[in-house]
Amino acid sequence: MVAMNLRTGVTCAGFLLLAAAPAAAEWFDQPFALDLAMRLMCLAIAAVSLNLILGYGGMISFGHAAYLGIGAYAVGIPAYYGITSGFVQFPLAVGAAALFALLTGIICLRTKGVYFIMITLAFAQMLFFVIVSIEEYGGDDGLVIDTKSTFAGVADLEDTHALYYLIFFSLLAAFYLVKRVVAARFGRVIVGARQNEARMQAIGYDTFRYRLICYVLAGALCGYAGALLGNFTGFISPEMMDWTRSGELMFMVILGGTGSLFGPVMGAAAFILLEELFSAWTIHWKLIFGVLLVCTVLYARRGIDGFLGREKRDD
């Protein structure tokens, strides 16, 4: 209970810092800090969605960034044709990502282990090369989003603070959604299928259907994160859905702690902050990240979330 309170306290403090970031950035005249926080939160939403299938469902997807790219292009392509309504772009991002997850999940979830990893990677790379081949939308060079999503009478995302708080409340909503899903019977079935799928099937649960719904839900949530990221960056490219980005999302989840509610957010924050620190120090910062990941897997399998709990119990 004490360990849980510590983790909750750290997470609440982090959310309070994020809530106060616009005022603090303006006070200290550090607009870059606000950009850093928005990027952090967009990727945190994507990490939360990945944790739903990786941490709770045991589905190790190496193509999760594909949904991030789908969401971003669902903003960029309509904007290219002059359609900038967020009421069109965001549902399109969620729907397209969910549809891709459904179509690929029907195939991917019939495999397990390393085969599942490789087939998710294969589908993501197929989509990556499809986008690269479409010169109309910039191909490998990417596409500039000249106008951010508009929500007539609700919010103007050209206003940095409006965009920031949309991302912030979206992160809170994503966190709450996953918390409710995991606590419900649906979530317990997903966890049970990860631990012993044969037993769950023996007591009458169609584990394939449950896992597929979970897979689609995670894809849709990541597609929403991609729509936010596209609005934030103002530029999209196939690199957003490359396998290296999927690896970064997985790193965030592992670093924060798989199968924990708070872990992905803390992992995303640690990843972004360490990236800024190490990249300013050396061009070989990815080597340091690699060593850090190996050490996390070997000596801190529960990540930051587990470290906070263990640290408190050891006192």
Q: In this structure, is residue 8 part of a structural domain?
A: no
Q: In this structure, is residue 134 part of a structural domain?
A: yes
Q: In this structure, is residue 165 part of a structural domain?
A: yes
Q: What pLDDT, in 10s, does the model give residues 161-198?
A: 899 999 999 999 999 999 999 999 999 999 999 988 88
Range of the domain at 175: 41-239
Q: In this structure, is residue 71 part of a structural domain?
A: yes
Q: What is the 3-state secondary structure (H, E, C) of the chain?
A: CHHHHHHHHHHHHHHHHHHHHHHHHHHCCCHHHHHHHHHHHHHHHHHHHHHHHHHHCCCCCCCCHHHHHHHHHHHHHHHHCCCCEHHHHHHHHHHHHHHHHHHHHHHHCCCCHHHHHHHHHHHHHHHHHHHHHCHHHCHHHCEECCCCCEECCCEECCCHHHHHHHHHHHHHHHHHHHHHHHHCHHHHHHHHHHHHHHHHHHCCCCHHHHHHHHHHHHHHHHHHHHHHHHHHHCEECHHHHCHHHHHHHHHHHHHHCCCCCCHHHHHHHHHHHHHHHHHHHCCCHHHHHHHHHHHHHHHCCCHHHHHHHHHHHHC
Q: In this structure, is residue 167 part of a structural domain?
A: yes
Question: What pLDDT does 311 receive?
Answer: 41
Q: In this structure, is residue 257 part of a structural domain?
A: no
Question: What pLDDT does 94 receive?
Answer: 97
| Total number of domains constituting the chain | 1
Q: In this structure, is residue 100 part of a structural domain?
A: yes
| 10-residue mean pLDDT series, the chain (315 residues) | 60 82 83 90 95 93 94 94 92 97 95 92 94 89 89 82 93 93 93 90 92 96 96 91 90 88 88 86 83 79 72 38
Q: In this structure, is residue 226 part of a structural domain?
A: yes
Question: What pLDDT does 4 receive?
Answer: 53
